[in-house]
Structure 1
């Protein structure tokens, strides 16, 4: 947070280790936001690979986690509901949509696209791929115009 005198205040938002954080950029880029979606690791020292997806509420500090043994998720991407549907979503509508993540299933040596509800972080769908898809550090979603 930038203060009037030019100083910066650092505030720890969570004890959960987070990497590649994403927000609902379409409505909150450059403005206040409440939710951050990120990859994280079980080992808080950082000695293991990303093993989970994390939803952080920066106001309350609470987290919701998706994790499965032998599954390694990639960077989450927020996909908002279309404008017409947002008005009926959650109270803030910031988390009205889904979170997508391309993951690796190490047990079956395959990949999957995971679809989580952005508000509850519950799994809505999964599309299995019969082979591994190489990891990429950044995800992207383009809405069909």
Structure 2
């Protein structure tokens, strides 16, 4: 596996599946990283859509998830804390469609624990989209 051999291999990093993976790009793009964040289906169910957020520790295979019944999160975006020391010092942002309540909100999770820190209710339903974007610069 590598550039010299021209061969590609695969390695499963965790039991939890993941789509649309994101990392702490500002400090780790093109470099080694430990944590990846993404979306997946709870318990790998095929009778539902992307309905949870996932954090994978690529060293240990440990995972953390966020899930609320009837909620469909978009691609999480990692935003580092201004004084970040550790790779997962920061928050995850995800636009979530709440199908049960017919509403949308911006979900703010601790990137370390995936605990809910805040939720900003949108004034109307935001059509479901896959990708997320955050820019800290004007």
Normalised by the size of structure 1, how large is the TM-score? 0.87
Name structure 1 gaps, 5 residues minimum.
Answer: 88-92
After TM superposition, which residue ranges in structure 1, 4 or more long, deviate above 3 angstroms? 3-6
**Which of 82, 106, 111 lines up with 1:113 in the alignment?**
106
**Which of 112, 121, 126 lines up with 1:128 in the alignment?**
121
**Partner residue of 1:12?**
12
Range that drifts further, 53-62 or 122-131: 122-131
Conserved? CA contact 1:17–1:46, under 8 Å: no
Name structure 2 gaps, 5 residues minimum.
Answer: none
Instruction: Report the Cα distance in structure 2 between the residues aligned to 1:45 and 1:124, rounded to whole angstroms.
Output: 27
For residues 32-60 of structure 1, what are the alpha-carbon distances to aligned partners after superposition, in whole Å with 9 as ceiling and x for unaligned?
11101000101425442011000000100
**Partner residue of 2:84?**
86
**Partner residue of 1:90?**
none
Instruction: Report the Cα distance in structure 1 between the residues aligned to 2:77 and 2:48, rounded to whole angstroms.
Output: 22
1:29-44 aligned at under 5 Å gives the runs: 29-44=29-44
The aligned length equals: 138
1:53-72 aligned at under 5 Å gives the runs: 53-72=53-72
Helix, strand or coil at the partner of 2:27: helix
Instruction: Report the Cα distance in structure 2 between the residues aligned to 1:60 and 1:96, rounded to whole angstroms.
Output: 18
What is the Cα-based RMSD across aligned positions, in Å? 1.6
Instruction: Report the Cα distance in structure 1 between the residues aligned to 2:121 and 2:105, rounded to whole angstroms.
Output: 4
